[in-house]
Amino acid sequence: MDHAIVLFDGDCNFCDSSVQFIINHDPAGYYQFASLQSDIGQKLRRQHDIPEDVDSLVLIKDGKAYVKSEGALMISNHLTGLWKLAYYLKPLPRFLGDTAYDLIAKNRYKVFGKLDSCMLPPPHIRKRFLDKQ
């Protein structure tokens, strides 16, 4: 099975919750994860020319990086349940989705706080974290 990689801000409560949400709605294990702050996250950032100002969530799929609302909508396509339907919002003008995304990303620390420590996932989930192996 092929995989896609989700890079996330390892210090952000909202990003951590988003990763947990993806795990819970991706029973097939399509997504793998790495924090942007990790060595592998930095390596992937350089490989895919992801700008430094992109600091919340990135999807790497089929050798291409998707950021902001485009990345989030692409992620939804492989989730179970009604979340899959969010993918069909993709044809909407990108500036609308990116404006909402930027508003949340800009205020995520104020609203959701920062993590003092990360959760330790069980082994069957841990293997999906590229920087925890």
Domain boundaries defined on the chain:
4-126
List per-block mean pLDDT (blocks of 10 residues) for the chain, which spans 133 residues: 86 75 92 92 94 86 91 91 78 75 68 60 78 61
Instruction: Give the residue among 97, 118, 92, 125 at the shortest CA–CA distance from 8.
Output: 118
Q: Cβ of 82: how many Cβ atoms within 10 Å?
A: 9
pTM, full prediction: 0.77
What is the maximum span of the chain, computed from C-alpha positions, in angstroms? Answer: 40
pLDDT of residue 46: 94
Instruction: Give the residue among 133, 113, 130 at the shortest CA–CA distance from 37.
Output: 130
Give dist(CA 104, CA 82) in Å, integer: 22
Q: Cβ of 29: how many Cβ atoms within 10 Å?
A: 13
Task: Yes or no: say if 75 and 6 are a contact pair by the CB < 8 Å rule.
Answer: yes
Q: CB-side exposure of 76: number of CA atoms within 13 Å?
A: 16
Give dist(CA 85, CA 63) in Å, integer: 24
pLDDT of residue 92: 78
pLDDT of residue 82: 83
